[in-house]
Amino acid sequence: MTVPLLQLTAVAKSFGAVRALKGVSFDLRAGEVHALLGENGAGKSTLIKVITGAHSPDAGTLELAGQRVVQLSPARAHRLGIACIYQQPALFPDLTVAENIALRLEPVTPLRRVAWPARRRQAGELLHRLGATISPETEVRSLSMPEQQLVEIACALGAGARIVIMDEPTASLTQQEVARLFGIVRALRQDGVGIIYISHRLEEIFALADRVTVLRDGESVGTRCVRRENAAGPKRDVAQSTEAMADAPLLTEAQLIQLMVGREVSTLAPPVERELGDVVLALERVGCAASGVQAVTLAVRAGEIVGLAGLIGAGRTELARILFGLTPADSGQIVLQGQRVTLASPQAAVARGIAYVPEDRRRHGLILEMPIAQNIALASHRWLFPGTWLRFGAERTLALNFMRDLGVKAAGPEALGSSLSGGNQQKVALARWLATRPKLLILDEPTQGVDVGAKGELHRIIRRLAQEGMAVLLISSDLPEILSLSHRLAVMRGGTITALLPNGCQASEVMAAALGQTGERATE
């Protein structure tokens, strides 16, 4: 049996009283995609950061190709051929895309010059491979969340590493980009690279992974094979182990979920037909030259969930930003509950009962340095603190209620936003806006990074809110999610709505409309 590329043995890591990893063992072979699964806060990102040297483990050993490695630092991990796409893009906002990629590939030393033209060309090529239409000269600050994610991926690919780690690389990508990424991952596997892949989208695990390790509460609950046909991999032991498994039934999705959460998770029933209320939001040829949105006409009724589908850059987030007063519209009209309104600032939008859960939870959705309770209360000061007096008790109760309802895993309402796992941050960002009891709720990728169990719960909450009369505008790159939740689907392309599809339409129709094709099939 050959030595694995990477072997972790009994790794433990605590943050104060929080035991994020309690003795996890894990191995990665050359030429395999090893998926890492688990609920929010299970310890996946922490395990990754141990491998990349960002966290030093409290106990346990790490071996690379049979060699014990101690005192791993991010720079050393990089030299040893470990590249990582972090869950939270960790790019320098003031530098350009090319500069960011160059820095990541070749950390600058004081006396060495960087050959910028070559670097720029390389950045352009990497992005092109991913099918991203981002100019290497753009400042990262002005990129959207999915675009930043694509840049992160480009960084990792360009490093030419032996081990590539991807922590929820697809959380905010649409099917097009995902399909392209999968192509690249398969090519890497063919070349004998070991890939650790984290995702809460189970269908991706089944499409891509050879083996899967499930973490629960900082412990490994087992490693299983998910595919048979990976014998094409270059290493014999992979083939052998799959042969041995050949007769054993492969893992089903339900079993995987069972492993992850330790209980059954009920899946979402198709939407129920019911009477819708009055029109809450009516858009009449709304446009904004600055953000490239033009002539959007759409109505959302009370009790209705309208899905907004489209590719990255189709203008969905830009439309949401208009409605939330972040980039006010400069043409057309917005009618809110029968009244024509101008939404000139987020304050104005909030005062009119509009809530917006942004896609970038770390920059926009949360204030990371503030405790959970203050984050949840932040948009509700008006009703929570009448006469501007803070009411700490009421704030705490509000936070505890939402933390319970949404299953936020944290030390308590005083825990800082920065100490939460990605999925739990997302839940807090959502809680903040649910707490405002809005009339119109705009959700931008509300379940990105949220585990399957919590996702089902969030879906039920969104549907319940709609049933209670809220109008919901749902932006999501998760097609099954948007298909099952929405009463109607609006497909955007090039800054405007190009198709309105009824409840029960097919994924392929949505994709075709998003790509601007008619009739032709467009699935991965």
Ligand X SMILES: Nc1ncnc2c1ncn2[C@@H]1O[C@H](COP(=O)(O)OP(=O)(O)OP(=O)(O)O)[C@@H](O)[C@H]1O
Out of other proteins, Mg ion, ligand X, none, what residue 295 binds, judged by CB under 5 to 8 A for its kind, is none
> Judged by CB, which is closer to Mg ion: 13, or 119?
13
Ranked by CB distance to ligand X, the top (closest) residue is 423
CB nearer to ligand X: pick between 31 and 43: 43
Catalog residues that contact other proteins under the rule CB under 8 A: 49, 52-55, 74, 84, 86-92, 103-104, 326, 346-347, 349-350, 356, 358, 363-371, 374, 378-379, 381, 385, 388-390, 392, 414, 416, 418, 432
> In a 3-state reduction of DSSP, which class is residue 44?
helix
52 counts as binding ligand X under rule CB under 6 A: no
User: Whose CA is closest to 314, among 146, 431, 185, 470?
Assistant: 146
Check binding of 421 to ligand X (CB under 6 A): yes
Q: How far is CA 511 from the centre of its chain?
A: 20
Binds Mg ion (CB under 5 A): choice among 57, 146, 310, 422: 422
For the four alpha carbons of 25, 186, 511 and 519, in that order, the dihedral sign comes to: negative
Amino acid code (one letter) for 253: E
Kindly report the backbone phi and psi dihedral angles of residue 249, in degrees, each rounded to the nearest multiple of 5, phi listed first. -65, 140
The DSSP 8-state label assigned to residue 362 in this structure reads I
- Quick one: tokens of 402? 């939402």
424 near ligand X, rule: CB under 6 A: yes
Q: Which is nearer to ligand X, 181 or 410 (CB)?
A: 410
Under the binding rule (CB under 5 A), the answer on residue 87 touching Mg ion is: yes
- Show contacts with ligand X in window 390-409 (CB under 6 A): 409
- What length does the chain have? 524
Beta bridge partners of 336: 281, 339
Which token pair is 245? 């498994």
Dihedral sign for Cα 242, 248, 254, 255, please: negative
Note whether 378 and 346 are within 8 A (CB): no
- Looking at 33-41, 156-164, 185-193, 318-326, which segment touches ligand X (CB under 6 A)? 33-41
Map residues 240-279 to x or -, x wherever contact with ligand X holds by CB under 6 A.
----------------------------------------
Is residue 4 within 8 Å of 196, Cβ to Cβ? no
31 lines the binding site for ligand X (CB under 6 A): no
According to CB under 6 A, which one of 3, 18, 179, 367 is a site residue for ligand X?
Answer: 18
Stretch that binds Mg ion, among 84-92, 179-187, 400-408, 500-508 (CB under 5 A): 84-92
d(Cα 322, Cα 318) in Å, to the nearest integer?
A: 6
CB of 197 to other proteins, least distance (A): 17
SS3 183: helix
Among the listed residues 76, 42, 36, 70, the one whose alpha carbon sits nearest the alpha carbon of residue 56: 70
DSSP H or E run through 430: helix 422-434
Does the footprint of Mg ion cover residue 38 (CB under 5 A)? no
- Considering the rule CB under 5 A, would residue 45 count as an interface residue with Mg ion? yes
- Answer yes or no: are the C-beta atoms of 357 and 433 closer than 8 Å: yes
Q: How far is the CB of 38 from ligand X (least distance, A)?
A: 5
- Residue 36 or 286 with smaller CB distance to Mg ion: 36
- Please tell me whether residue 136 binds Mg ion under the rule CB under 5 A: no
Q: Would you tell me which residues interact with ligand X (CB under 6 A)?
A: 15, 18, 20, 38, 40-46, 87, 409-410, 419-424, 449, 451
